[in-house]
Amino acid sequence: MNRCLVVLLVCLVAADARAQVDRATLSGVVRDVSSGVIPKARVSLTHLATGVTFTLVATAEGSYLATNLASGEWVVEADASGFQRVAQTVRLDVGQRARLDFTLNVGTVEQTVKVEGVRPLLNTESAVLGTVVDQTSIAKLPLAIRNWDDLLALVAGVQGDRYTEESGGTATGRTGGVNVHGIRSLQNNFLLDGVDNNTISENVQELSTQVSRPSIDAINEFKVVTNPYSAEYGRPPVRRSA
């Protein structure tokens, strides 16, 4: 069983477009009130924080797939010729695989049915178990020495690892060294904006599990995946040599 800890860390700076694992995906089907699919329907997505907008055209089966989406709130609209437009605001978390279906009523495109409020979406397209630590928690929870990875203790099944992987304990500790469900900390995988961020040291020589340790003030949010995790994250849970 793959019980490796995967930490997807998203900073406030823009990520490289090639990094996909920290981005969200939204899919669904556009139907009419009789549950018949609407082919070639238009689906528009607007990221409220940045104003980025793009439009997709659904397939002949009425399905759409939007990939490489930044986390945050999105306004998603669906419309087709002869039908009223439907708009819904949703919240997508980092690395989420979500589904949002639409049902359009007969009418004109100029008529819009807007669903008020932000709708949280379930991960119906993935069996991955994970916890998102959002910006509110990062900004307001007290941290003794402002190490962001101390917030990993908020996740169920995760606890600090005060021991090196080679010999005994250390009074200094190794930041980011945690156990998830008893699995060794060497099997953890840290990704920063979708890029591998793991050190190669097995003990406290580097005093950190990560190559780059961003300031707590630079972090937007992060997600901790505990079990199972997708092959897209890479780095299987095997012991590495120094």
**Same-domain pairing of 160 and 110:** no
Boundary (domain end) residue, out of 72, 93, 120: 120
Q: What is the pLDDT of residues 11-41, one digit of tens each?
A: 554 444 344 667 888 999 999 999 999 999 9
Residues of the chain predicted below pLDDT 70: 1-21, 109-112, 114-117, 119-120, 122-128, 161-175, 200-207, 228-242
- Dihedral sign for Cα atoms in the order 178, 180, 181, 187: negative
Is residue 197 in some structural domain?
yes
SS3 content of the chain, % helix, strand, coil (to 5): 10, 40, 50
Instruction: Tell me the pLDDT tens digit for each residue of 114-146.
Output: 666 676 676 666 666 778 888 888 888 888 778
Beta carbons within 10 angstroms of residue 169's beta carbon:
11
Boundary residue ending a domain (73, 99, 120): 120
